């Protein structure tokens, strides 16, 4: 198994100004072609730190892949650090200069000295073309190891990896296949699921590993296998997924890159059914999730964010008596909100939420974190009480996913 290490360069990564999404994307792509990532490191724009990281990585990995610090400004020092590490000088590359020149002409940007300097690369390296930016990548080989430096701009890096590096690396590093399959669940926490599938987990073959990856409202179960025969690994994992589906069928809503809102949207579109939402405590977040899916306009008709009680009354038809007797956060009001929006928008399904997101506003009877969710359909209206004691944003996220999951179950029962 060939091993790789990723080094991300840039002060912005260390002060929390930029999240290092490059490393996660690169690791997934390398895994897909059978290259194991053993470590990820972030260092600042510091010559000594870059050199030390490269030296340490060379003791652990046969592929060292770096991102960042290849721009034309003074804080971009990756090229000079590479020259020092390999004991070489700079050379001017006419082919790279031609690419930079063409790019600038297409964008109607005049050539400057800093642009021209981008065509200077370390001697002995193989430049990696960058058709979306001015900074070329750099490929070095030394003592049976490959060192690659790429720009830190994500869309430039991804294009270079996809079209130039990954095919080359796949050819050079023929090794074991690494297969991942992620089962997506909602409706139960990590510890609950662990208890429910304990016997299945204990019986997993030695070649298959299970990882629990929880986040607010969801738990991802990732199955991983490594070996020579990719088809055999895929079949083995799929067999285990089928066994898992028998244990927790109601909790599983999708696989790999699926989303709860995407799965629901697909079901609604296939059935030619429609949806609307009436949101109080979630403030339109459910509608945001639904409309983030391409094509959602075919089944999502709209939403009313009824934060104030008078909006619940005027726009959704919630009875004043219900608000006075039971309060806005109640089964009765949530149900009337769902029924009101379904009638007003003439849809097949309606979601309503009313709760106390906090940090203030709770009472002993209805503490912060209390929420009622209702689903209205031709079958009638169902409402459930939840308690998500969390910070405000996570409360909104968890409530929205719980609402979508209730809808998923209702659609599944229709």
Nearest to 166 by CA among 88, 63, 69: 63
Architecture per CATH, domain 177-255, reads as 2-Layer Sandwich (3.30)
Structural contact between residues 36 and 178, judged by C-beta atoms closer than 8 angstroms: yes
- Taking only the tens place, the pLDDT of each residue in 229-263 is 889 999 999 999 999 999 999 999 999 999 999 99
pLDDT at 414: 47
pLDDT at 76: 87
- For tokens 């075919």, the residue is 298
For the segment 288-306, the average pLDDT, to the nearest whole number, is 98
Distance of alpha carbon 410 from alpha carbon 404, whole angstroms: 10
pLDDT at 178 over 90: no
**How many other CB atoms are there within 10 angstroms of residue 311's CB atom?**
15
pLDDT at 218: 95
Q: How confident is the model at residue 1 (pLDDT cuts 50, 70, 90)?
A: low
Please state, for a pLDDT cut of 70, what percent of the chain lies above it.
Answer: 99
pLDDT at 165: 94
Distance of alpha carbon 145 from alpha carbon 152, whole angstroms: 22
The domain 3-172 having CATH identifier 3.40.50.720: the answer here is: no
DSSP 3-state of 235 = helix
Q: Look at 33-47, 66-80, 97-111, 164-178 and tell me which has the smallest mean pLDDT.
A: 164-178
Q: How confident is the model at residue 316 (pLDDT cuts 50, 70, 90)?
A: very high
- Taking only the tens place, the pLDDT of each residue in 356-378 is 999 999 999 999 999 999 999 99
Q: How confident is the model at residue 413 (pLDDT cuts 50, 70, 90)?
A: low
**How many other CB atoms are there within 10 angstroms of residue 26's CB atom?**
24
- Taking only the tens place, the pLDDT of each residue in 41-72 is 999 999 999 999 999 999 999 999 999 999 88
What value does the mean pLDDT of the chain take?
94
**How many other CB atoms are there within 10 angstroms of residue 304's CB atom?**
22
351 CB-contact burial (10 Å; exposed 0-12 / middle 13-18 / buried 19+): buried
DSSP 3-state of 91 = strand
Q: Would the pTM count as exceeding 0.85? A: no
pLDDT at 171: 84
pLDDT at 99 over 70: yes
**How many other CB atoms are there within 10 angstroms of residue 279's CB atom?**
26
DSSP 3-state of 93 = coil
Residues 88-95: contacts with CB within 8 Å, 24+ apart? 88/122, 88/123, 88/124, 88/125, 89/122, 89/123, 90/120, 90/121, 90/122, 90/123, 91/120, 91/121, 91/122, 91/123, 92/119, 92/120, 93/119, 93/120, 93/121, 93/127, 93/136, 94/119, 95/127
DSSP 280: S
pLDDT at 327 over 60: yes
pLDDT at 170: 86
Examine residue 313 and say whether the peptide bond preceding it is cis (omega within 30 degrees of 0). no
CATH placement of domain 260-413: 3.90.950.20
pLDDT at 175 over 80: no
Distance of alpha carbon 228 from alpha carbon 225, whole angstroms: 10
Please measure the distance between the N-terminal and C-terminal CA atoms of the chain and give it in whole angstroms: 49
The full set of domain ranges for the chain reads 3-172, 177-255, 260-413
For the segment 173-195, the average pLDDT, to the nearest whole number, is 90
Q: What is the CA radius of gyration of the chain?
A: 27
pLDDT at 86 over 50: yes
For the segment 11-38, the average pLDDT, to the nearest whole number, is 92
Strands 63-67 and 36-43 turn out to be unpaired
Structural contact between residues 374 and 282, judged by C-beta atoms closer than 8 angstroms: no
DSSP 3-state of 8 = strand
pLDDT at 226 over 90: no
């Amino acid at each position: 198994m060939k091993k790789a290490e990723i080094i991300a360069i840039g002060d912005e990564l260390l002060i929390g100004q930029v999240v290092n999404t490059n490393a996660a994307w690169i690791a997934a792509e390398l895994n897909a072609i059978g290259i194991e990532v053993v470590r990820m490191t972030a260092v600042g724009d510091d010559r000594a730190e870059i050199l030390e990281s490269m030296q340490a990585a060379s003791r652990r990995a046969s592929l060292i892949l770096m991102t960042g610090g290849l721009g034309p400004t003074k804080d971009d020092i990756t090229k000079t650090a590479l020259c020092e590490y390999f004991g070489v000088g700079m050379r001017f590359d006419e082919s790279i200069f031609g690419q930079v020149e063409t790019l600038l002409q297409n964008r109607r940007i005049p050539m400057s000295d800093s642009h021209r300097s981008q065509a200077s690369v370390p001697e002995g390296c193989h430049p990696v073309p960058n058709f979306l930016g001015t900074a070329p990548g750099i490929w070095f080989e030394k003592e049976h190891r490959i060192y690659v430096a790429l720009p830190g701009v994500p869309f430039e890096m991804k294009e270079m990896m996809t079209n130039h590096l990954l095919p080359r690396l796949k050819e050079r590093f023929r090794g074991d296949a690494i297969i991942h399959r992620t089962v997506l669940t909602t409706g139960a926490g990590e510890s609950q699921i662990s208890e429910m599938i304990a016997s299945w987990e204990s019986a997993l073959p030695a070649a298959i590993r299970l990882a629990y990856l929880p986040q607010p409202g969801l738990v991802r179960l990732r199955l991983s296998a490594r070996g020579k025969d990719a088809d055999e690994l895929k079949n083995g994992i799929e067999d285990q997924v089928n066994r898992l589906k028998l244990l927790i069928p109601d909790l599983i809503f999708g696989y790999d890159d699926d989303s709860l809102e995407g799965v629901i949207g697909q079901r609604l579109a296939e059935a030619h059914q429609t949806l609307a939402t009436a949101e109080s405590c979630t403030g339109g977040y459910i509608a945001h999730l639904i409309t983030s899916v391409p094509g959602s306009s075919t089944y999502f008709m709209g939403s009313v964010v009824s934060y104030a009680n008078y909006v619940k009354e005027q726009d959704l038809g919630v009875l004043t008596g219900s608000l006075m007797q039971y309060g806005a956060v109640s089964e009765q009001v949530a149900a009337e909100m769902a029924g009101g929006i379904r009638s007003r928008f003439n849809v097949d399904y309606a979601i309503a939420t009313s709760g106390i997101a906090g940090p203030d506003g709770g009472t002993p009877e209805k503490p912060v974190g209390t929420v009622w969710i209702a689903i209205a359909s031709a079958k009638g209206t169902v409402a459930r009480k939840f308690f998500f004691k969390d910070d405000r944003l996570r409360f909104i996220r968890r409530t929205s996913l719980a609402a979508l999951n209730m809808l998923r179950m209702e659609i599944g029962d229709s």
